[in-house]
Copies of this chain bind each other. A is one copy, B any other.
Amino acid sequence: MNGEKLIVKLADSKKRTKCKECPLHKLNHLREFASDELEFMDNFKTGELNSDKGSTVLVEGSHSAHLFTILSGWAFRYKTLEDGRRQILNYVMPGDLIGLQGSVAGEMDHSIEALTNVTLCVFERDRLMELFGKFPDLGYDLTWIAAREEQILDEHLLSVGRRNAIERIAYLLSFLYYKVSVLSSDKKEQINLPITQQHVADTLGLSIVHTNKTIKKLVDKKLVKWLDRGCTVENVAGLADIAAWEPDTKKIRPFL
């Protein structure tokens, strides 16, 4: 459990990037916008937000009036029990939407913490109905996004419920590898995951000690390397094999 800072600052509004110039559009796994959609989004967007590494972006129980899309950086969603036991639910990175539950259910039932410095795109939830009314395609995309998140949670639940320690870790690392890999255009580049072993443990329902010893087995098999505060995947296929898991290869996905 990290010492939780609540440092969230509004970015200089002058630095606000126009949706038209959104760097995420360069990524070829995200669907294209029609020009009127883009115009609406630019208006729907009310600003940007920066969160420092380690800070809490959204707190469980808050009544946030916002929706966010990650522009840069990593974060993770998590819940805790009264006595402090923490369960990481999923990881979010550029192009991912957060806060939909708060917008729809009225209250966040999980928190979000920044793994690295993070820049967020802020949307007004009050205008969500307008989005559904004027741009049915975007409304459909929102449902798509929610259903996709559900699919991922299904897979995580299968892992935590039925895979053993080494299978779980192999699953998580290959899952994250594939999730990040679509974000970098340079395929040669080594992919580094900015997580600690504590994060792995809290994602998979394991203790930190056992996680450490199990990761060591994967390192010995030369499937991954563990560096300071992070790991690099050396053999994804080997990992996916241990986990008996195959990634979703569908390319294009919607985003807001």
Which residues does A use to contact B, with CB under 8 Å? 77, 79, 81-83, 85-87, 89, 100-101, 104-106, 109-110, 128-129, 132-133, 136-137, 139-140, 142-144, 146-151, 153-158, 160-163, 202-205, 244, 250
Query: Which residues from chain B contact A202 at a C-beta distance below 8 Å?
Result: 161
Contact at B105–A157, with CB atoms within 8 Å?
A: no
Assembly CA distance A160 to B149 (angstroms): 18
A81 / chain B contacts, CB cutoff of 8 Å: 158, 162-163, 244
Q: How far is the CA of A180 from the CA of B169 in the complex (A)?
A: 36
A136-B136, A139-B139 are contacts. A144–B109 as well, Cβ < 8 Å?
no
**In chain B, what residue has the closest Cβ to A161?**
B205
Known A-B contacts A136-B132, A143-B142, A160-B205; the reply to A154 vs B244 at CB < 8 A is no
Alpha-carbon distance between A77 and B144 when the two chains are bound, in angstroms: 19
In the assembled complex, the CB of A14 is this many whole angstroms from the nearest CB of chain B, namely: 33
Q: Across the interface, do A101 and B150 meet the contact criterion of CB distance under 8 Å?
A: yes
Q: Which residues of B contact A142 (CB under 8 A)?
A: 143
B161 touches A160 (CB 8 A): yes
- Report the nearest B residue to A130, measured CB to CB: B136
Excluding A129-B137, A136-B139, 16 further A-B contacts by CB distance (< 8 Å) are A77-B154, A79-B157, A82-B244, A86-B162, A87-B157, A87-B162, A100-B150, A105-B144, A109-B154, A132-B137, A132-B140, A142-B143, A149-B150, A153-B153, A157-B157, A160-B205
Residue of B nearest to A206 (CB): B161
> 7 closest pairs, A vs B, by CB?
A161-B205, A146-B146, A132-B136, A153-B153, A85-B162, A139-B139, A87-B158
Known: A105-B147, A140-B139, A205-B160. A154 touches B86 (CB 8 A): no
Q: How far is the CA of A133 from the CA of B134 in the complex (A)?
A: 9
Please give, as numbers and ranges, the residues of chain B lying within 8 Å of A77 by CB-CB distance.
Answer: 154
